[in-house]
Structure 1
Amino acid sequence: MRGGAADLPPIRHNDYSPLVPPVLGEWDPELPVSVVVPARGGQHGLDLVLAALAAQTYPDHLMEVIVVDDGSEPPLRLPEITPPDTRIVRAGPSGWGIAHAVNTGAALARGRVVQRLDADMVVCREHIEALARWHHLTDHVVAIGAKRFVEEPVLTPGQVHEGVRSGSLGSIFDLTSALPSSTEQTIARTDGLRTSRNPYHVCTGPTVSMRREIFEAVGGLDPAVLRGEDTEFAYRLAAHGVVFVPDMAAQAVHLGLPAQRRDRDRAVRLVAPYLAHRVPLRRDLRKDRGRHWLVPYVEVVLDATGPAGPIREAVGAALDGSLGDVIVTLVAPWSRLAGDGRPVLDDPLFDLRLLREHFAHDERVRFADEVSPTPAPIPFRYTGPVGVPLGRDSLERMIARVQEDRWGMLVVDLGDAGTATLERTEALGRARLLGAEDVAASVEATHGVLRGDRAEFWPGVKASRAPAADGAQAVTGAGAASGRAADTVPARPSSPARSRDQNRDQERGRSRDQVRDRDPGQRQAPERSRPQEERRSLLGRLRTALKN
């Protein structure tokens, strides 16, 4: 592990227990932190926020504050009480909104750590220090602060500064009547997110920090997402492989009650279409049949260098399965087709050119010269031989299986045809963040690798032991990324002992955040010819996956 934690064991899923942060006030910070505060109007609230930041325990010479004025009229100004290195910048003219403002500030940041803080969040004196200490341990943590909602009191910046400096938010706010955050309830139910299946749910933006390279690697916030931009950003962070760490010592109060208290139904409806297109794990938002979404649920990768017939059959099977939320990537030397001016009938790449034209106008099919290291933000990737087309519900079966214990990879033995692999993007992202040369081994350590046989995922189809047809070779996913074939994954399923937290989670039942992202969340395709006993088994497995 890089970032000062090379001697630590790998973090399994989101169980960051191997990371032991230093005690507040008993360590020497080294990383510069840039606090980015997006703001529009609300000068008095901003004055209180900056007064609290001026009383932080984090060293002044390691902290800058960038207030991004997103079109306030009159323009925002710096108050008398601010941290020493504080400036106001105007958001660029090319856009507007919170996402655009945060991106503007992050682009100007000089710090190694980017801390986003909303302009209505008054933080305790250790807030920046508490979150920054995690980034000194490793470079792939996203740290999340705590918050409670209060009615904005009549206070002066001086009162806030003195109250925070003296070490108590309770001396200036009535915390006994504060409204707790629902995210903190989720954090408590999942042992500090250690057992959460979807920890990105609670990374809702008002106070969150990460290494600047992580922010830049995922492309920052999406300005096209006008509501729910923090959740969408957190989902992309999860696909990138980060570990989410909430720190309850980073206390803060939110000035004003949440928008959902005013009109919950309208607030939820406003967010839903943005997340439906961009967060495939929200299966509850993708109930419209026959729809195509901006970010698909599964990428199917196929080798397109063989005969066109089997390739076309494999593409058709992938697109016509019971799981319609799919995109197909055909891998072949397509870039060699760039040149024109040659006789068509004598073209040495005649078949490849015709195959490209056959799928050129299907938005569900795309072309690539090589397999990408990760399909992010698509949450799953399937790779398999074109000689073994996907069955009607093969993808659903595979996803249901890996979701039972959140496996990072499933490798299916297809006999002489090779192997088929389903990869979890989050696990591939973690391997890249760790700088792993052997991707499959890294996935084994952080998420686990499972092996299965063809009969489970292609029911009713006997495995052929005849030599594979031309063009039946699989394009390996993790194998391609790591430089080794998928069939070199350890021969047996990984069965690591579950942690005490996972056991307790099973005993107590899944918490609410574990139910919201239901996978696969799709209907089961009817198979009347299948024996009743086998149908019952599949239904049980799918129900188990939905509960998870």
Structure 2
Amino acid sequence: MTDGAGTDLPLIRHNDYSPLVPPALGEWDPALPVSVIIPAHGGQHRLDLTLAALAAQTYPGHLMEVIVVDDGSDPPLRLPEIAPPGTRIVAADPGRWGIAHAVNTGAALAEGRIIQRLDADMVVCREHIEALARWHHLAGYLVAIGAKKFVEEPELSPAHLYDGVRTGPLEAVFDLSEALPSSTEQTISRTDGLRTSRNPYHVCTGPTVSMRRETFHAVGGIDPDVLRGEDTEFAYRLAAHGAVFVPDMAAQAVHLGLPAQRRDRDRAVRAVGPYLAHRVPLRRDLRKDRGRRWLVPYVEVVLHVDGDERQVRDAVSAALEGSVTDVRVTLVAPWSRLSPGRRAVLGDPSFELRLLREHFAHDERVRRADEVSPTPAPIPFRYTGPISVPLGHGSLERMIAALQDDRSGMLVVDLGDDGTATLERTEALGRALLLGADDVPASIKATHGVRHGDRAEFWPVPAAPAAPARKPAGASAEKAEKSAQAAPGRPAQAPPEKPAWNPPEQPTAAPSRGDRPPAPARKPESRLSRLRSAIRRG
């Protein structure tokens, strides 16, 4: 067993963790302390059962602490008689509320190297903590997921449950013949334990999940602004960070009570939608509203400001007006060197840069940075290309489709004399950073693959319109048609259509004297007209 980041282990391609072989349960010596964090709001009896099961764990007691975070229970939660020795109840930090806030409160107090999040209505088997913790002794970038089934809450005392969990499997305590399986277990089975899953974060629901403490804090913890679906949003950020998701079916558990979706599925689904739409760009099905701006864009477009102002503006416009509208542009230049002091406005050596800063100062889609960030997470894709080759209308869409086609981590497009353009998958970039790779492209090639393409594939040249057929010289349309019909072996051609008449545009202002057309010539007056004019004058 190792305690390190796993850089000396075989590289994991995508989410295929097959090269990692965990030790058999009960046949290894744990070394890493675990902090079990339980967010709770009311439900004292269910919490008593949860803590009784944790008291019966096979994981060494001196390596396990339990932090119950009371999220405003009335009356306040109390510590039951049967609980692990290192159990304490703390109040959630004031000013916020909800599951995410409670978990973050516990994580801030955690002393263990491993954080195990567990709901206050979960009863786990005796090997549960051990089964998940063994993976974190192998590598530091894993997220371990336990199994669960839903059961109606039985009439069961904490003492009876403790004895049952300590001496046998969960089947000896609960009647699992009527248990409702979790929908995520079907996905796990269908994707070979998530080894072939394209988006394994989908099944990483919160009731029982564990990871290294540094991994939890590296992605910023759980978003307290997300009141429904906070576990899925958190798992998405873990995926962007490069984490590998490992479900362990030996970590069995039962959830006391049926899921909320069974009580009111429509409302439960609708409650999650807005939170995930703004924060999980890969959920394209949730971003169908036209003209919307979302909290987390789909693509970051990085442009280095190394040309004139007009060229940069054209490149930005091309990026924002393409077929992929869910874009944020980052302009990289030494912006911090622009001092605010008095200067000659027109004679400023940084005139072009200041002009660009003012052009985009109030456009929330355009940001400025002195250098490129190590990762664009949680944005799932990052494009980098020269401003001399503005993105075509469909270039980004084609490049993303190419990456999604074979799940590559990077696409490199040869632009000839203009250099190269690249599209990176943030998940692959995050994995390279987690592994501490000196050569990031080489690491991405090993874990996700690198694809190459040429300019014509992603910047196709539009076909020139066909030239209109010319009429044979000296022949009318009718003669041309008869000639075509008479020629053997040649298809008959229809006479050219008469072009539709378009009325001339009305001028918006009177033309200048020099632009006025000459007045039409007057017709000569007749003898009768001259006679009538003479009579009127007389």
2:102 corresponds to 1:101? yes
Aligned equivalent of 2:449? 448
Aligned equivalent of 1:329? 330
Shift of 1:94: 2.3
Aligned equivalent of 1:355? 356
Shift of 1:297: 0.1
Matches within 5 A, 1:298-317: 298-317=299-318
Higher mean C-alpha deviation, range 303-312 or range 275-284: 303-312
One-letter code aligned to 2:72: G
Q: Pick closer, same or farther for the CA change 1:528–1:270 going to 2, 3 Å.
A: farther
Matches within 5 A, 1:235-384: 235-384=236-385
Cα RMSD for the two superposed structures: 1.4
Identical aligned residues as a percent: 79
Aligned equivalent of 2:70? 69
Q: In structure 1, what is the Cα distance between the partners aligned to 2:230 and 2:135?
A: 24
Matches within 5 A, 1:161-172: 161-172=162-173
Q: In structure 2, what is the Cα distance between the partners aligned to 1:288 and 1:123?
A: 42
Aligned equivalent of 1:496? none
Q: Pick closer, same or farther for the CA change 1:363–1:4 going to 2, 3 Å.
A: closer
Query: Which structure would you say has the larger RCO, counting Cα contacts within 8 Å and 6 or more residues apart?
Result: 1
Q: In structure 2, what is the Cα distance between the partners aligned to 1:256 and 1:224?
A: 26
Unaligned runs of 5+ in 2: 467-538
2:102 corresponds to 1:90? no
2:140 corresponds to 1:132? no
Contact 1:305/1:331 (<8 A) preserved: no
Matches within 5 A, 1:471-490: none
One-letter code aligned to 2:68: V
Question: How high is the TM-score relative to the length of structure 1?
Answer: 0.84
One-letter code aligned to 1:161: Y
Aligned equivalent of 1:227? 228
The aligned length equals: 465
Shift of 1:528: 11
Shift of 1:167: 2.2
Aligned equivalent of 1:43? 44
Contact 1:305/1:352 (<8 A) preserved: no
Instruction: Describe the SS at the equivalent of 1:153.
Output: coil
Bigger CA radius of gyration: 2
Contact 1:2/1:434 (<8 A) preserved: no
Contact 2:5/2:435 (<8 A) preserved: no
Instruction: Describe the SS at the equivalent of 1:313.
Output: helix
Aligned equivalent of 2:532? none
Contact 2:70/2:89 (<8 A) preserved: yes
Instruction: Describe the SS at the equivalent of 1:130.
Output: helix
Shift of 1:4: 6.2
Aligned equivalent of 2:534? none
One-letter code aligned to 1:239: A
Instruction: Describe the SS at the equivalent of 1:435.
Output: coil
Aligned equivalent of 2:145? 144
Instruction: Describe the SS at the equivalent of 1:38.
Output: strand
Deviations along 1:328-347, whole A, 9 cap, x unmatched?
Answer: 00000000114322222222
Q: Pick closer, same or farther for the CA change 1:451–1:362 going to 2, 3 Å.
A: same
Instruction: Describe the SS at the equivalent of 1:310.
Output: helix
Aligned equivalent of 2:155? 154
Deviations along 1:283-339, whole A, 9 cap, x unmatched?
Answer: 000001111100000000001132111111000000000110000000000001143
Contact 2:42/2:74 (<8 A) preserved: yes
Q: In structure 1, what is the Cα distance between the partners aligned to 2:369 and 2:46?
A: 50
Aligned equivalent of 2:399? 398
Shift of 1:529: 6.7
Shift of 1:6: 4.1
One-letter code aligned to 2:388: G
Contact 2:147/2:248 (<8 A) preserved: yes
Q: In structure 2, what is the Cα distance between the partners aligned to 1:81 and 1:107?
A: 25
Contact 1:318/1:326 (<8 A) preserved: yes
Q: In structure 2, what is the Cα distance between the partners aligned to 1:318 and 1:121?
A: 48
Higher mean C-alpha deviation, range 399-408 or range 343-352: 343-352
Q: In structure 1, what is the Cα distance between the partners aligned to 2:460 and 2:182?
A: 46
List structure 1 segments (4+ residues) > 6 angstroms apart after TM superposition.
527-530
Q: In structure 2, what is the Cα distance between the partners aligned to 1:340 and 1:281?
A: 44
Contact 1:4/1:136 (<8 A) preserved: no
Contact 1:292/1:325 (<8 A) preserved: yes
2:15 corresponds to 1:14? yes
Deviations along 1:147-194, whole A, 9 cap, x unmatched?
Answer: 000000000000110010012111111111100000011000000000
Aligned equivalent of 2:181? 180
